[in-house]
Amino acid sequence: GCTSRGQFHRRGEVFWEDLNCTIKCRCLDFNNEIYCQEASCSPYEVCEPKGKFFYCSTVETSTCVVFGEPHYHTFDGFLFHFQGSCAYLLARQCLQTSSLPFFSVEAKNEHRGGSAVSWVKELSVEVNGYKILIPKGSYGKVKVNDLLTSLPVTLDLGTVKIYQSGMSTAVETDFGLLVTFDGQHYASISFPGSYINSTC
């Protein structure tokens, strides 16, 4: 093993030298040497202290689900039912002073087969200056800023990706937002725990 700042590290162990996790170190398998290089945590991780060093820990995610005619299972575990044919804001980054990237997700409902129940007609995602529309029954196609586009789509050098995931269309960002819609009756929104108390 290796020793750094009086702390022992097993061979192969990875740790970070600084509180911002910008210097990644590894205890090498030979000669018990430590090799360090510039690096950072992934967008889905946060830098946390552990002893005299720091480690990148996976951020918990929160998920909201829309299903059926339609039922809304919220991020905090409540269940709501909206039978109207309106547009409903599902999630949005709300704090003006926040350093978190802005996003907004809205579902528009329509009545199907009578006026007693409604279903999701389309899902709209606003992120990085793009408006992405996933219409009902749209397998393999979305509208990006009103232009019909075939999947997969990569925007802003990969910061936003739109792709087919099984029967669902997925919108994924580099900051951890993941929105899916099967084009019929099931949609989900997941984002990192860093957005907790910053959304409405």
* pLDDT at residue 116 is higher than 80: no
Residues across the chain: 200
Q: What is the mean pLDDT of residues 58-62?
A: 80
Q: What is the CATH number of the domain that holds 99?
A: 3.40.1000
- 49 and 78 housed in the same domain: no
- 42 and 80 housed in the same domain: no
Domain assignment of residue 31, given as a range: 2-58
How far is the C-alpha of 87 from the C-alpha of 198, rounded, in Å?
A: 21
pLDDT tens-digit map of 147-198: 999 999 999 999 999 999 999 999 999 888 999 999 988 999 999 877 877 8
- 41 and 82 housed in the same domain: no
**Structural domain includes residue 48:** yes
Phi, psi (5° rounding) for residue 74? -80, 170
- 97 and 187 housed in the same domain: yes
- 25 and 106 housed in the same domain: no
- 104 and 53 housed in the same domain: no
Name the pairing type of β-strands 141-144 and 79-81: unpaired
Q: Please, which contacts does 82-86 make with residues 24 or more away whose CB atoms are closer than 8 Å?
A: 82/109, 82/118, 83/116, 83/117, 83/118, 84/109, 84/118, 85/109, 85/110, 85/111, 85/118, 85/121
pLDDT attached to residue 97: 66
Q: What is the mean pLDDT of residues 54-81?
A: 86
Last residue of a domain, one of 43, 58, 73: 58
**Structural domain includes residue 21:** yes
- 153 and 106 housed in the same domain: yes
- 107 and 133 housed in the same domain: yes
- 39 and 82 housed in the same domain: no
Count of domains forming the chain: 2
pLDDT attached to residue 45: 77
The answer to whether the CB of 170 falls within 8 A of the CB of 140 is: no
* pLDDT at residue 96 is higher than 80: no
**Structural domain includes residue 108:** yes
pTM: 0.73
- 133 and 146 housed in the same domain: yes
* pLDDT at residue 36 is higher than 80: yes
> Which residue do the tokens 């029954």 mark?
137
**Structural domain includes residue 200:** no
The answer to whether the CB of 194 falls within 8 A of the CB of 59 is: yes
- 23 and 80 housed in the same domain: no
The answer to whether the CB of 78 falls within 8 A of the CB of 65 is: no
